[in-house]
Amino acid sequence: MSTAIESNLKEKRVFKPTKEFSKAARIQSLAQYREMWEESIERPDKFWGREASELTWQTKWSKVLDWKEPYAQWFVGGKLNVSENCLDRHLLTARKNKAAIIWEGEPGEKRVLTYQQLHREVCRFANVLKRNKIKKGDRVLIYMPMIPEAAVAMLACARIGATHSVVFGGFSADSIRDRITDSKAVMVITTDGGYRRGSIVPLKKNVDDALRDDPQSIKKVIVFRRAGNDVHIEEGRDVWWHREMDYVNAVCPAEPLDSEHPLFILYTSGSTGKPKGILHTTGGYLLQAYATSKYVFDLRDEDVYWCTADIGWVTGHSYVVYGPLACGATSLMYEGAPNWPENDRFWRIIEEYAVTVFYTAPTAIRAFIRWGDQWIKKHDLSSLRLLGSVGEPISPDAWMWYHNVIGGGRCPIVDTWWQTETGAIMITTLPGAIPAKPGSAGLPFFGVDAVIVDDDGKEVGPNVGGKVVIRKPWPSMLRSIYGDKPRYKKTYWSEVKGAYFAGDGAHRDKDGYFLIAGRIDDVLNVAGHRLGTSEIEGALGSHPAVAEAAVVGRPDELKGQGVVAFVVLKGGIAVEPHLREELRQHVGQVIGPIAKPDDIRFAEGLPKTRSGKIMRRLLKEIAGGKAITGDTTTLEDLSIIAKLSSNSD
């Protein structure tokens, strides 16, 4: 992996936080970060105990950590309730009438729920759950669009100790069924439909289809009326949210829950097999979601914070709902697509609500770049003070664009590396303390003992590639794969002795910054040279004609693997014969001749999962000649192929 991310390693620009930003930030200097990080590693009990005392506990813990690899218990003996921490405790302060959630529907409706109003809705809906026989420990599947009721449903489950499993609204009936089967959920909470690019996604119908054949474990389906589309109501099983709410009052004390009580299961795909139900528990998860929201986004009462992730992904759990609400922040939620009705929807929203902190994904950033700066120029984004990125490596070019065009050159960018499994941010650049380097995720968060190791599990030196591992337990770590402890141990704690194996490859530079190359299985070995697909993508992306590129390997008799690049050109640029050779030369220049793609295929769009990750396995099949071959000068519409492929995540 020695050359994997050289283009990012060659990036020399460093963006120090401004004096004004640092002065107002919680962590104000690199020295302060280092001092706190050392304490967090050497004396985790002291560090995390202090942080945890900022939360509300019904019973204090007796021990911060009990660790018997690979099983951790955080805050042993402690009792708390996540919904109490996100809601009730703010009602005792001036935040009582502060906006907890600002929401905009795709068609344009606007709603604001204050902390008091959100608390009331959550208490009432928790009583609806009880009325429908949901008990502590039951699994409840949530399949909803991005509306405040999705957060209400999550928080109501948390309030009574039911374990929620949110399924992204873009998933199919089959995925819902698989997740119900695996989690043995007893209830589904859904809506009639949700809006996406002007049309209605029939969520309730998908639930009906999922429940059609088997008797299933599902006893009840609660349906919130969102889109007004016709739905089937199965007598005895399906009930309307609004009707149920009429029967209940708003008194529902928060259930005291053990710190290790299961808060949620979130399904995520592994490299093989069926999706894994990643299990997160109460105290440790909430603590790290809270602490990272506080330190990484440096959230203030004045902030209007917007994380664009869907609640169907872990980012939506930790950074739309639990983290910001535990901080008492204002969290903005938007239901729909960024290009509805036009390409400037996000910038309209930022302008209208004076958003101050904006957290999105590189894949979205690349779309914005492709759509053109004119959409941004129409809007006043001067309210922004901090930007974030998550989900995949961000190329230095996209970073610079984000910094200059969205951030007006004044906002720090926090790149945040973490996973469904880690529950919360693990590697980042604390905005007032750690100078940012475009394309680099930064340094470990407090309590995170992340290093890079080689195939023998030994830590490597600067600029040498290897596997990202974490050598100590952290509060928001997954506790298991639901129902499959052996798989948990095998997947995460067996690859590298004594450490959690993240599945990512990375380098660290001389300053210890992590440059994430991507999943190990995305690393190519071309004639003995290892190349990060993201590196070649970055190189292609730095060519003025390229909007987006995805690179995969394909078997090559001579070199082991050959490089195939799928390239989406910027709007208005035509596929010219010379362009293919020009791009090859360009990659050769940026990285080295070895990285020159053997094959460049121009495409209309790239196949992506609903969370925006490029579907590399599909591309590999195509590159290997399994799906389509032939005329590579035509524009392949890979997004259509993606839709046809069944298991899309």
Residue 420 or 561 with smaller CB distance to ligand 7RM: 420
Residue 262 or 362 with smaller CB distance to ligand 7RM: 362
Name which position in 104, 397, 415, 535 contacts ligand 7RM (CB under 6 A): 415
Angle at 416 between CA 468 and CA 563, to 5 degrees: 60
Shortest gap between Cβ of 394 and ligand 7RM (angstroms)? 7
Of the listed pieces 340-348, 376-384, 396-404, 409-417, which binds ligand 7RM according to CB under 6 A?
A: 409-417
Of the listed pieces 96-104, 106-114, 244-252, 414-422, which binds ligand 7RM according to CB under 6 A?
A: 414-422
Q: What's the per-residue H, E or C state across 188-248?
A: EEEECCEEECCEEECHHHHHHHHHCCCCCCCCEEEEECCCCCCCCCCCCCEEEHHHHHHCC
Shortest gap between Cβ of 474 and ligand 7RM (angstroms)? 15
Establish if 504 lies at the interface with ligand 7RM (CB under 6 A).
Answer: yes
Q: In angstroms, what is the C-alpha Rg of the chain?
A: 24
Subset of residues 433 to 452 that bind ligand 7RM, contact rule: CB under 6 A: 441
Give the Cβ contact number of residue 253 at 10 Å: 12
Inter-residue contact 501 to 469 (CB < 8 Å): yes
Of the listed pieces 150-158, 181-189, 344-352, 387-395, which binds ligand 7RM according to CB under 6 A?
A: 387-395
Residues with Cβ within 8 Å of 572's Cβ and at least 6 positions away in sequence, in order, are: none
Taking every pair of C-alpha atoms in the chain, what is the biggest distance, in angstroms? Answer: 72
Subset of residues 311 to 330 that bind ligand 7RM, contact rule: CB under 6 A: 314-315
Beta bridge partners of 266: 278
Name which position in 32, 268, 463, 647 contacts ligand 7RM (CB under 6 A): 268
Task: Give the three-state DSSP class for 427.
Answer: strand
Q: How many residues bind to ligand 7RM according to rule CB under 6 A?
A: 20
Of the listed pieces 27-35, 81-89, 198-206, 386-394, which binds ligand 7RM according to CB under 6 A?
A: 386-394
Phi, psi dihedrals of residue 74, rounded to the nearest 5°? -105, 135
Inter-residue contact 309 to 316 (CB < 8 Å): yes
User: In the chain, what is the straight-line distance between the N-terminal and C-terminal CA atoms, in Å?
Assistant: 26
Shortest gap between Cβ of 312 and ligand 7RM (angstroms)? 11
Helix, strand, coil share of the chain (percent; to 5) = 35, 25, 40
Subset of residues 506 to 535 that bind ligand 7RM, contact rule: CB under 6 A: 516, 518-519
Residue 312 or 328 with smaller CB distance to ligand 7RM: 312
CA nearest to 515, candidates 2, 8, 3: 8
Establish if 269 lies at the interface with ligand 7RM (CB under 6 A).
Answer: no
Name which position in 81, 416, 480, 561 contacts ligand 7RM (CB under 6 A): 416
Of the listed pieces 208-216, 384-392, 458-466, 493-501, which binds ligand 7RM according to CB under 6 A?
A: 384-392
Name which position in 7, 163, 356, 420 contacts ligand 7RM (CB under 6 A): 420
- 198: buried, middle or exposed (CB in 10 Å: 19+, 13-18, 0-12)? exposed
Establish if 32 lies at the interface with ligand 7RM (CB under 6 A).
Answer: no
Residue 122 or 154 with smaller CB distance to ligand 7RM: 154
Of the listed pieces 281-289, 348-356, 418-426, 625-633, which binds ligand 7RM according to CB under 6 A?
A: 418-426
Distances in Å between the Cα of 84 and the Cα atoms of 62, 328, 344, 609 are: 21, 12, 37, 34
Footprint on this chain of ligand 7RM (rule: CB under 6 A): 268, 314-315, 390-393, 415-420, 441, 502-504, 516, 518-519
